[in-house]
Structure 1
Amino acid sequence: MDFKLADQSYLCRVKSPISQIYALVRKDLLLEWRQRHALFGILLYVFSTVFVINLMVREPEERMWNAMFWVVQLFVCVNAVAKSFVQENRGRLLYFYSLVHPRYFIAAKLIYNVLLMMLFSVVTLVCCILFLGNPLAKPLYFLGVVLLGGVSLSVLFTMLAAIAAQASQNAALMAIMGFPLIMPVLILLNNISQSAFSPVVQPGLGGMFLMLAGLDVLVVALALILFPFLWKE
């Protein structure tokens, strides 16, 4: 069984959108825990990548530390979020299509991937501080940026994974679409997080935060609008 019969019957009974989204998020959590080898594999990837960086450059200077952190975050997000649609086979998607509205389904995926990526973001930050030193002048500010960056990366790759899943899991399609979309997000995150390494307030910081938040809202809106049409295919 993919998930508990109780969860299936509960999903059939509930009519409230919030209750259906909650049931779908809970289903993903149960699947993740039952397949926790994939979860531990990503944690091992984070640990080993940061450890190898430590062996090669020891404690890098501030700009390189920041750049390496976001590179690790990018690949963690690709591995963590892309599999959310890979584990949903055609039969299971057809079953969910008969029970819930597509917008509730993609909303649950967005929420689940945001929570998962925020967890991995904190783990990556802890590993970087332990192995690469702590050059942060404003650690709480950087933690906030890391969590915001985890949200931005997860919503973008959730939308890309949903599109790629409808193209027979075409990983090349996800890479081609993702590169031009992810670059502005990474540039913004790099510029915003750079202020955490200096006590001086960076000019134009508020505008960059608003731009990043606007991109997140736009991606979520596009996912909610486009996914019902994709799922019909």
Structure 2
Amino acid sequence: MQTIKQILALVQKDLMQEWRQKYAFYGLLLYVASTVFVMYMLLHQPADKVWNALFWVTLLFISVNAVARSFLQETTGRMLFYYQMCTPEVFMIGKMLYHVLLMAIMSLMCWLLYIWFLGNPLIRLGYFVGLCVMGGSSLGIAFTLLAAIAARAGQNAALMAILGFPIMIPLLMLLTRISEIAFQEVYQPGLIKMWWMLGSLDVFIIALSLILFRYLWKN
């Protein structure tokens, strides 16, 4: 029970900090809107596969910017306070939950902007919205560990992109393949297997984060 309270307290702290720094959130929204608008000016209404690929690539860059701020803005004194108040597993789970919530919101905002500017080629709308939230959450989970490593390595946000490349490629390929069914009326073979692979990848990243973050915590 105490562990759950600590996790919720950490999530609440991050939400309150995000609310106090609304300019950063609005700046992220402006970044998304300007990116989608540039795509509209170049492509107008792209083909279904292009629309799908551009959406997930855009969400990837959004997650880099959104998740990086959470760790990079933590000062040394504040990390020392966390070290005395909670365990590394509690701190990591709290960060992951916050990033899942943040990326779920940003994913829906990105989807709305894509529908507004680039049209709506989706046939299975509810399916894609659910996958959009889950895909954004998966990206948030994956970048949580990478942001923690980057923060401990001299606050270098560029390190996230370098370390994340081997993880993001299979994740993006899975999300792109799974979301193709939203543009089709026929059933896609192997869809259930790909969903299992996506869920297994998320579980693997979460377990790896909880194991490895303990060593970063000690440093």
CA distance in 2, matches of 1:208, 1:170: 33
Equivalent residue, structure 2, for 1:8:
none
Partner of 2:188: 202
Q: Indicate if the aligned counterparts of 2:14 and 2:98 stay in contact, CA closer than 8 A.
A: yes
1:180 match = 166
CA deviation map 1:74-126 (0-9, x unaligned)? 11100101111011011100011011111101100000000000000000000
Residue 18 (structure 1) aligns with: 4
Which of these residues, 61, 74, 83, is aligned with residue 75 of structure 1? 61
Answer yes or no: is 1:226 the counterpart of 2:212.
Answer: yes
Give the distance between the partners of 2:133 and 2:162, measured in 1 at CA: 26
| Cα distance in 1, alignment partners of residues 168 and 43 from structure 2 | 26
The answer as to 2:13 corresponding to 1:27 is: yes
Equivalent position of 1:212 in the other structure: 198
- Indicate conservation of the 8 Å contact 1:159/1:223, yes or no: yes
Query: Which is further off, 76-85 or 171-180?
Result: 171-180
Q: Does the 8 Å contact 1:24/1:108 carry over to 2? A: yes
For structure 2, the 5+ residue unaligned runs are none
- Larger Rg, first or second structure (1 or 2): 1
User: Which whole-Å deviations, capped at 9, do the CAs of 1:126-176 have from their partners, x for residues lacking one?
Assistant: 000010000001010111111110111000001100111111112343222
Distance in 2 separating the partners of 1:196 and 1:36? 34
RMSD of aligned Cα (Å):
0.9
Bigger mean CA offset, 62-71 vs 171-180? 171-180
Counterpart Cα distance in 1 of 2:56 and 2:169: 11
Deviation by residue 1:173-221 (Cα, 9 ceiling, x = unmatched): 3222111110000000000001100010100000000001000000001
Matched, 1:44 2:30: yes
Task: State the 1:229 CA deviation.
Answer: 1.4
Q: What's the secondary structure of 2:113's corresponding residue?
A: helix
% identical equivalent positions: 53
Equivalent position of 1:171 in the other structure: 157
Instruction: Name the amino acid aligned to 2:77.
Output: G
Tell me if 1:158 matches 2:144: yes
Aligned position for 1:11:
none
**AA paired with 2:162?**
I
Partner residue of 1:88 out of 68, 74, 86: 74
AA aligned opposite 1:181:
I
- Helix, strand or coil at the partner of 2:153: coil
State the TM-score, normalizing by the size of structure 1. Answer: 0.92
Amino acid at match of 2:161: A
- 1:207, 1:149 → 2: CA distance? 16
Q: d(CA) in 1 for partners of 2:43 and 2:162?
A: 31
Aligned to 1:123: 109
Please say if residues 10 and 91 of structure 2, whose CA atoms lie closer than 8 Å, have aligned partners that are also in contact. yes
Contact residue 150 and residue 157 of structure 2 kept, 8 A: yes
- 1:93 is aligned with what amino acid? M
Partner of 1:149: 135
**TM-score under structure 2 length normalisation:** 0.98
The DSSP-based 3-state class of the residue aligned with 1:98 is helix
Secondary structure of 1:53's aligned partner: helix
